[in-house]
Homo-oligomer: A and B are copies of this chain.
Amino acid sequence: MLTFSLAQLNFIVGDLSGNVVRMEDAARKAAGDGARIVVFTEQALTGYPPEGLLGESVFLSRVDAALLKLCDASRATPHLYWVVGAPTRRKRVGGALENSLLVLKDGKILLQHAKRLSLDFGVSGERISSEPKPSTAACLEIDGTRVGFLIGGEVWGGAGKADPFAKLAAEKPDFVIVIDASPSFVSTRKPRHARIVEASRQIGCPMAVANQVGGHDQLVFDGASFAATPEGVVFEAPRFEESVSTLCLREGAFLHADGAAIAPLPAFGLPFMEFCRRQIVLGLRDYVRRCSFGKVVVGSSGGLDSALVLALAVEALGPKNVIAVTLPSRFSSAGSVDDSVALCRNLGIKLFEHPIHDIVMICEHGFGTTFGEPLGGLALENLQARARGMVLMEYSNQLGAMLLSTGNKSEISVGFCTLYGDTNGGLAPIGDLYKTEAIRLARYINEYAGCERIPNAIIDKPPSAELAPNQKDSDRLPPYPALDTILKAMIEGEHLCAEDRAEVMAALAEQEKAKGGMALIARVQRMVWKSEFKRRQLAPVLRLRPLLGGNGRRLPIAAEYDHMSIAIPAMYGG
C-alpha cells in the first residue's frame, strides 16, 4: 500500500522563494494526510514556462540556490518523498540546461532524471534545448513498491532508441508518477486521458499525473491532475483551482486516503462554454495580478465584446476592481450609451462617460488645414478608434488600472480592428474566442447567473463598430457564422477535434456550394494573410487553443500573397 498526494499548485514564474514556500505548505498538508510521496509539477521551482529567463545566468544562479533551499525544506517532513520539477545544468561548464525531475527526501537528492526529449520553453527565435544523452530509466523502491518517474511529454514516447517511455516500461515498475505542465486547450483533456490509460496498459501498472494550475501570460493550466489504471481514468482533481489530492494505491487500485472507494468520473468533462468561462476567468485574474495591477479598465462600446470582457473581468477581479468607460462619438447610437449604463448597473461597476467628439473635431480641423480636404473614410474611422485608445490609456495611467483589449478571434484573424486604437491593452482576454462563440458565451453567462448580467439588447443587436453612420460589421465582413466556419477550417484545421471537424467541414462544404462561396473563402484567406502585421503588435491573447489567429501561428509579413488568392478547397481535407 502506498499513499501519495498530487499537488497542483499555482506557481508564479520567476518567484523562486515563493514557489518553495508553496511547496512547503503542500508537503505539510500531504504529510498530514499520511502521504509517503508528494508530487509537484514540471518546472515547479521556476513556474512554467520560464521562457527566456532560462537564458539569464543571474536567474540560473538563483535557481541553484533555491533548489538547495527546497532540498533543505524537505527535512521538515523526513518521511515524505518530494517529487519536484526544476531546470538543472549539466555538470560541465557552459553545459546545456536540462528539464529535470528530482526526488528529494530529508535533505537529500535521491534521484535526478533529466527529460531526454527536447525542451521547448517557447523562446521565440531561438530554442534552448537539451540534446539527448544516454538514457537511464528513473525508478525508486518505496515501501516495497517500485515507482517509476516520467516528465510531461515523455509519456508520448518517441525519440527512437532514446525513447524514455520504452526504457521505463522495460524496468517493469509497479506504479508510474508523471510530473506535468500541460497548457489547457479546448479538447486536450480527452487525448491526455487516453494516452495515460494506454501508457498504463503498455507498462502494465497504474499511473498518476500531477499537472500545474494557473494563468501564465497567454497560457492557462487547468490542473486536473489524475490517476489511471489500464481500465481507465479513475480519479481527477478539480479543474482550474489549486488542490492537494491524497490517494492510496492498494493492489493496483486507487482509493481515497481514508480507504473509501473513489466515485466514478462523470462521463463528460466541462461543457465547452463553462470551460471557456473558467479558463478565461483564471487566466485574466492571474495575468492582471501578476502584472501588479489591482484593477482593469475597459472601453464599453455598448457592443457584445466589451460587455463580455467586462462580465468576465468582474468575475475574475470583483466589481470594485473593474472600470468601464463609454466614449461616444457622433456616430454612436443613443442605444450604445444606454446599453452600457444598463450593463454596468447589472454588473455593479462604475461607468465613466467620456465623449470624444471634441478630440475628433480638433483632429479633423488639423487634417483639413494640412491637406485641404476633409478627413473621411478609413482615416476618420481609425481616428475615432485611436482617440478612444488614447483616452482609455489616460484612465489606465490615472487609475492604475490595466486596459483590456476586447477584440475577438474573428476580428483579429481578418484584421478588422484599428492598431493603436481598439487593439490597445495589456491583455486580450477573448482574443481566442470566435465571434459566434463570444455570443454563445455571453448567453451562457446569463444562463449561469440565472439573470440578465449582459443585457439581451446587447447580445441581440447587429454587431457594429459604429465608426461611420449606420455602419454594421456585415457591410464589410461576411456574416459571422460563415466567416467563423472559414476561419476555423483555415486556422484550426487539423487541430479541431473529430466532432468539431465534421461540423466545420460540413458547413464549409455548404459554403463552397453557395453562390460566390469560393470567392468568399479566397477573400477571407487573403484578409488573414494581409493582416499579419496587425497581429504582431496585438496585446497577448489568452489562449484557448494551441494555434490561434492572434499571435500564435506566425506568418511572414512582407511576403507576396497576391498569387495565392484563389483558395483550393482540398486544403481543408488534410
Contacts and interface: CB of A to CB of B under 8 A. Distances in A.
Interface of A: 12-18, 47, 49-53, 55-59, 61-62, 94, 120, 122-127, 132, 160, 215-217, 286-287, 289-291, 352, 354, 358-359, 362-363, 365-367, 370-371, 375, 378-379, 382-383, 386-387, 389-391, 393-394, 397-398, 419-420, 424, 426, 490, 493, 525, 533, 536-540, 546-547, 551-561, 563-564, 567-568, 570-574
B426 A420 contact: no
Given A50-B556, A397-B378, A363 B390 contact: yes
A52 B14 CA distance: 30
B123 A554 contact: yes
Contacts of A393: 382-383, 386, 419-420
A556 B383 contact: no
A64 to B, nearest CB: 11
Contacts of A570: 57, 61
A394 B120 CA distance: 41
A153 B483 CA distance: 41
A120 B124 contact: no
Nearest to A17: B563
A230 B546 CA distance: 48
One complex includes copies of this chain to the number of: 2
Contacts of A490: 56
Given A13-B556, A15-B560, A16-B563, A533 B291 contact: yes
A16 to B, nearest CB: 7
Given A125-B547, A379-B394, A558 B61 contact: no
7 contacts: A13-B558, A49-B556, A52-B554, A52-B556, A390-B420, A537-B537, A540-B557
A559 to B, nearest CB: 4
Nearest to A493: B57
A367 B398 contact: yes
Contacts of A554: 51-52, 122-125
Given A286-B558, A363-B391, 8 more contacts: A14-B556, A18-B560, A57-B573, A58-B525, A287-B558, A354-B370, A362-B362, A420-B424
A216 B558 contact: yes
A398 B426 contact: no
Contact of A383 (B50, B394, B419, B564): B394
A331 to B, nearest CB: 17
Contact of A539 (B363, B426, B537): B537
A561 B14 contact: yes
A51 B375 contact: no
Contacts of A58: 525, 564, 567-568, 571
Nearest to A57: B571
A493 B58 CA distance: 12
A15 B420 contact: no
Contacts of A14: 556, 559-561, 563-564
A454 to B, nearest CB: 25
Contacts of A536: 539-540
A333 to B, nearest CB: 21
